[in-house]
Amino acid sequence: MSDSTPTTEEIRILISDRLFPLNENFAADADLYAEGLDSMALMQLILGLEQEFGVQVLPEDLDREHFKTLQAIAQLVETKRNGGE
């Protein structure tokens, strides 16, 4: 997967294990909402991100664009890991 960083792959696995299947060829820039991400799944995803990556997703992070793709989620996680808001 050339468009995947280790973080996007970890997030793909987390989504596949906890929410709904994403095959290993799922593009990092594909729309997760079109795949079935809804508000309940989003809350489960946030809990998983907090547990797996040790980040805290704040209310101000709850922007649809932050969770639209694996790349967007990875960017949010990396920002949080690096102490960004």
Q: What is the pLDDT along the chain (85 residues), one digit of tens a residue?
A: 445 566 899 999 999 999 999 988 899 999 999 999 999 999 999 999 999 999 999 999 999 999 999 999 999 999 998 887 6
Residue 11 belongs to a domain: yes
Q: How many domains does the chain have?
A: 1
Structural domain boundaries, residue 66: 6-80
Structure tokens at 4: 């995947």
The model carries a pTM of 0.89
CATH number at residue 26: 1.10.1200.10
